[in-house]
């Protein structure tokens, strides 16, 4: 049986692939209705009287501090209202900022119209959702598709290194454009001082993809490789006048995902980092937890070829796939500092994850050849052959640093607009494009020569590179 695609020396054509009771002034018990009315008026006076001010203001601090833990309320001049009891001395427990911190919501101006009572969880729970626009490190690939001018001789067509050959796809970075994403962060302070809490975070970037597609009818199109048998550059022809008419499709994708679950501990465990006692309106938190992160890449090839050579008629369908995954699991350590200004806060973040990165590469190829009405299917393609196909795994210790800066602006006591910048760096990861070996022994092209002579190429070996993702984020933060 003749195979027209085995002409490697001059014209290789083979394809590739988220209550307490009160009394009146005369000592008689008040009626329930009068008590409700009296306390209603008292609450309104407390909420709006200018003498009742945040402790930070009375101490010369920021009257608009919007920290995660604020100073709450302190006692002011006695409030005397006819028919109501007079407060003097210490402020009642239910207004004491030292007993219940104010995280910025809900307070004076709260649209829900209440003040937090003792034992409430108001302002201890927060939720932030952010839109991300990040730029990432692209995936390097060798030259994957080449062409030559019309009338180029078959022996010189689409061969790298020749002056008339140009690269149509590959030979640099792909999947390196900006991409959108989503980040959701939520946390809950376990005690009223806000000294200890838990938080979770998830972010993911939309899949980045580049590709190439050429249908039949193009004059000259090829897939270059290095022939180890004849020690020279050559090409598998996809389109060439009078020899082969074919189509080629190449797709790629890159995806980054991360999940975090951690505990937070304030640098000042007595007051949560923001109280009258310490005269501190800012806060610093330590972070300790678990981090999971995955980076996935893929490159797929698909060819359909028809021979135009009457002496070797037939068709070929070929597919190849190169997939890589970096799965990190480890300990998350970090620190955050939040500076509180009038109606804004500025948070800086420094984290590093320490742990294990499991690297996995999957390479496969399949070729179907039809000649004289008979179809035969073989393992292997052009770049995916016997010696580099399969699943390859190994584990590597690594550290993933991360920095961030976020500005929050108070819109309401319970809502903030946020914006900022983030950078994540992943050292020593494997990418699909780096795992392609373009040194090929033509004797391995389906059907494989028997006996096989020459080198066992292409072959697999782990090749690492560094990856980073950085960019801007904008969102909203709710506090409950």
* Cα separation values, 88 from 77, 78, 203, Å: 8, 5, 51
Residue of higher predicted confidence among 155 and 341: 155
Element (DSSP H or E) covering residue 421: strand 415-430
Q: What is the mean pLDDT of residues 149-174?
A: 95
DSSP 140-169: E--EEEEE--TT--GGGTT-TTSTT-EEEE
Nearest to 189 by CA among 72, 68, 106: 68
Fill in the DSSP letter of residue 222: E
How far is residue 313's CA from residue 162's CA, in Å, rounded to a whole number?
30
For residue 390, what are its two tokens? Answer: 């399969």
pLDDT for 279 equals 61
* Cα separation values, 174 from 15, 113, 138, 209, 458, Å: 22, 54, 5, 8, 22
Whether residue 248 contacts residue 303, with contact meaning beta carbons closer than 8 Å, is answered with yes
How far is residue 123's CA from residue 189's CA, in Å, rounded to a whole number?
9
pLDDT for 55 equals 35
pLDDT digits (tens, 9 = 90+) for 408-428: 999 998 999 999 999 999 999
pLDDT for 269 equals 54
Q: How far apart are the first and last CA of the chain?
A: 76
Whether residue 381 contacts residue 15, with contact meaning beta carbons closer than 8 Å, is answered with yes
Cβ atoms within 10 Å, residue 342: 11
For residue 29, what are its two tokens? Answer: 């018990």
- The sign one gets for the Cα dihedral 57, 88, 113, 476 is positive
Whether residue 469 contacts residue 205, with contact meaning beta carbons closer than 8 Å, is answered with yes
Residue 47 pLDDT > 70: no
List CB contacts of 238: < 8 A, sequence separation 6 or more: 15, 214, 218, 221, 222, 223, 244, 246, 247, 248, 303, 305
pLDDT for 90 equals 41
Beta bridge partners of 357: 328, 396
List CB contacts of 307: < 8 A, sequence separation 6 or more: 4, 5, 13, 243, 244, 313, 314, 315
* Cα separation values, 301 from 6, 234, 323, 367, 441, Å: 19, 19, 12, 11, 19
pLDDT digits (tens, 9 = 90+) for 332-370: 999 999 998 889 999 999 999 999 999 999 999 999 999
DSSP 279-328: TB--EEEEEEEEEEEEEEEEEEEEEEEEE--TTS--EEEEEEEEEEEEEE
Residue of higher predicted confidence among 288 and 62: 288
> Mean pLDDT for the chain?
79
pLDDT digits (tens, 9 = 90+) for 221-266: 999 999 999 999 999 999 999 999 999 999 999 999 999 999 998 8
Q: What is the mean pLDDT of residues 105-120?
A: 35
How far is residue 124's CA from residue 276's CA, in Å, rounded to a whole number?
19
pLDDT digits (tens, 9 = 90+) for 69-103: 333 333 333 333 333 333 334 433 333 333 333 33
How far is residue 297's CA from residue 431's CA, in Å, rounded to a whole number?
6
Of the chain, the percentage scoring pLDDT greater than 90 comes to 63
Beta bridge partners of 208: 254
Rg from Cα positions in the chain: 34
Q: How confident is the model at residue 471 (pLDDT cuts 50, 70, 90)?
A: very high
State the residue for tokens 């004491």. Answer: 96
pTM of the model as a whole: 0.74
| Of 1-5, 70-74, 158-162, 364-368, the least confident | 70-74
Q: Strand locations in 27-106, DSSP E?
A: none
For residue 286, what are its two tokens? Answer: 């330590």
Tell me if residue 199 falls in helix, strand or coil: strand
pLDDT for 270 equals 53
């Amino acid at each position: 049986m003749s195979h027209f695609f085995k002409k490697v020396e001059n014209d290789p054509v083979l394809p590739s692939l988220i209550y307490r009771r009160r009394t009146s002034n005369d000592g008689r018990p008040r009626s329930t209705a009068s008590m409700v009315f009296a306390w209603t008026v008292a609450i309104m006076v407390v909420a709006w009287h200018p003498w009742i001010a945040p402790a930070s203001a009375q101490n010369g601090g920021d009257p608009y501090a919007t920290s995660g833990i604020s100073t709450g309320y302190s006692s002011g001049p006695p409030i005397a209202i006819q028919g109501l009891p007079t407060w003097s001395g210490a402020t009642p427990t239910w207004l004491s900022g030292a007993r219940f911190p104010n995280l910025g919501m809900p307070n004076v101006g709260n649209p829900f119209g209440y003040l937090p009572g003792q034992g409430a969880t108001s302002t201890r729970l927060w939720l932030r959702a952010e839109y991300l626009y990040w730029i990432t490190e692209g995936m390097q690939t060798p030259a994957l598709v080449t062409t030559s001018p019309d009338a180029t001789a078959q022996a010189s067509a689409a061969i790298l290194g020749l002056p008339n050959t140009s690269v149509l796809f590959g030979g640099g970075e792909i999947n390196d454009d900006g991409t959108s994403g989503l980040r959701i962060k939520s946390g809950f302070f376990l005690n009223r001082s806000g000294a200890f809490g838990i938080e979770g975070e998830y972010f993911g970037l939309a899949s980045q993809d580049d590709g190439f597609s050429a249908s039949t009818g193009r004059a000259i199109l090829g897939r270059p490789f290095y022939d180890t048998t004849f020690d020279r550059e050559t090409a598998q022809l996809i389109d060439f006048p009078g020899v082969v008419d074919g189509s080629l499709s190449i797709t790629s994708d890159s995806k980054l995902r991360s999940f975090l679950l951690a505990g937070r501990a304030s640098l000042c465990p007595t007051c949560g980092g923001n109280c009258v006692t310490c005269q501190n309106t800012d806060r610093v938190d330590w972070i300790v937890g678990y981090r999971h992160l995955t980076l996935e890449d893929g490159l797929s090839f698909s060819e359909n070829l028809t021979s135009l050579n009457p002496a070797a008629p037939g068709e070929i369908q070929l597919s190849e796939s190169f997939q890589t995954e970096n799965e990190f699991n480890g300990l998350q350590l970090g620190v955050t500092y939040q500076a509180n200004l009038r109606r804004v806060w500025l948070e800086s973040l420094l984290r590093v994850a320490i742990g294990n990165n499991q690297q996995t590469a999957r390479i496969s190829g399949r070729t179907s050849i039809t000649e004289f009405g008979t179809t035969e299917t073989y393992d292997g393609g052009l770049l995916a052959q016997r010696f580099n196909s399969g699943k390859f795994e190994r584990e590597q210790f690594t550290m993933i640093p991360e920095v961030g800066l976020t500005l929050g602006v108070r819109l309401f006591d319970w809502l903030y607009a946020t914006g900022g910048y983030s950078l994540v760096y992943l050292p020593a990861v494997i990418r699909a494009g780096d795992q392609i070996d373009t040194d090929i022994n033509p004797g391995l092209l389906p059907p494989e020569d028997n006996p096989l002579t020459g080198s066992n190429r292409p072959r697999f070996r782990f090749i690492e590179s560094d990856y980073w993702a950085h960019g801007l984020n904008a969102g909203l933060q709710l506090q409950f």
